[in-house]
Structure 1
């Protein structure tokens, strides 16, 4: 029995986990973002509420990067833990083993253990949210890259500058990572909105673009056709490099089954392995993926 947490900039969600997939919610509290002692106290109170025995581990999913060599977390939206060796610091304060994972990695673990990736050897979990992210799972375990970076397919100057389905020149856009033309600049919700504005000179939300596409709107259909083509090339490269058996898609844009199906249809002809089944599929876990992912991280790493 352990306690697992899904921590964001505004809310801490917690659950008791009896296994990697058997969790019971403990509810949520506000995140003390600027006071580490208050942050640790909030976690301790939730542990006490769940009744985990003294010394039982805790597992955390967090929207940030954790360097596996130093345990230092980079978490922009929670200043009190940004730059800390979060696992060791919490472990010392709470007298419990602590394991911390990136939220995209925990999403991928959740899908591998209890969602669309269950039963497959290699799972690549894709996030199409505000931006683009991902996590790599092999034989039920997370692949932790050097510096905490793995599965970050959204970064590198890879976006093509001309499309074929609708002939169009695409200007490379600046990415928050400092490069130009990263997949992240067009792949997430903000990227889809930028792409639509670049093509049509019209400002629409990503939800409105996807909805209008479903209604047959000509401009949104053109945007989504280009968007699908632009994402298909880097996704196909990723498939050929990693060899995933399945790619569950989560995040806000992943809530559109039509978009996920369009990506699958665009990617499969571009990869070396020929499949007669969907490769890119909607994620199955939407509510508790962070908690299940955190629990899966702890149990798969033996931190129990």
Structure 2
């Protein structure tokens, strides 16, 4: 007889730690949230363990745990590199939590968890391959084949935000080569993310506005704001074309704050096509089905698939 399980999906960011409990059918049972202690490892682990104990008490048992968080996890050492939660840098979170909780932990990148959620019953349900592309403060993604993640030898498959924008694209749009916190220069994340819209607008106008303000101004007919959005979507389209030529996904699902921008879904496909040679067609570019829930849901799917 099949034993029922509960799956705990953690979505860990620089502001909050969220835990969602799902049943065997991935139905949401309950969610818990707490602020993220970003710099003290002991406090961070205590916060995670406390949420697990609350969930265990609620379900009357021990759930299986999946964790999605920003940054890179070394697949050999299990050690983490995180700008959002510095306390985790050079730490093996899975090993630390296993020691504290007495159960194995599945850990994945937050972008990869988003992709996994949308590949399993989400916007890309049934697609043989898909790419989940998060456009938020930063830019990253995950690649799923047959509803399962491919991570690559370094665990960085899908980390497209740190591919360089071609010099010809920067020249065409009169953009500078921007430094990236990763140590490289000209990374597409610096132009195509939400903060990238702000950087483009600041370059052309000298104004320090966030993406929401720029979008609002463009809707009100501001020509400078509209130009910034035009340049943003053009650079993003070139980046997606590179993604299509490298991975050829059947579907691309957008996530993050910019996934709410209607114009991306109408303008991107024809612009992507201009960067492809004759033959390849851009895949459908879709809105996420689960939105903010994809992080916890994807982490729960990660542990469910690895159990």
TM-score by length of 2: 0.88
Aligned to 2:146: 139
Give the distance between the partners of 1:76 and 1:179, measured in 2 at CA. 15
Q: How does 1:25-44 map to 2 (within 5 A)?
A: 25-44=30-49
Give the distance between the partners of 1:151 and 1:267, measured in 2 at CA. 18
Q: Which moved more, 1:42-51 or 1:81-90?
A: 42-51
Say if 2:199 is the partner of 1:189: no
Q: 1:70 to 1:20 in 2, by over 3 A?
A: farther
Alignment RMSD: 2.3
Q: Where in structure 1 are there 5+ consecutive unaligned residues?
A: none
Aligned to 1:101: 108
Say if 2:181 is the partner of 1:176: yes
Paired residue for 1:5, among 10, 24, 27?
10
For the 8 Å contact 1:136–1:142, the answer to whether it is kept is yes
Q: 1:160 to 1:20 in 2, by over 3 A?
A: farther
Q: Which moved more, 1:52-61 or 1:282-291?
A: 52-61
Give the distance between the partners of 2:149 and 2:68, measured in 1 at CA. 13
Say if 2:260 is the partner of 1:255: yes
Paired residue for 2:237, among 193, 211, 232?
232
Give the distance between the partners of 2:81 and 2:221, measured in 1 at CA. 42
Give the distance between the partners of 1:113 and 1:101, measured in 2 at CA. 16
TM-score by length of 1: 0.89
Aligned pair count reads 298
Aligned to 1:215: 220
Q: CA deviation at 1:138?
A: 0.9
Q: Where in structure 2 are there 5+ consecutive unaligned residues?
A: 1-5
CA deviations 1:149-204 (Å, max 9, x no partner) are 1111121322444579xx64222211222222221121112211111222233332
Q: How does 1:1-304 map to 2 (within 5 A)?
A: 1-19=6-24, 21-51=26-56, 56-162=63-169, 168-271=173-276, 272-274=279-281, 279-300=284-305, 302-303=306-307
Q: 1:19 to 1:262 in 2, by over 3 A?
A: farther
For the 8 Å contact 1:109–1:293, the answer to whether it is kept is yes
Please state whether the residue corresponding to 2:181 is helix, strand or coil: coil
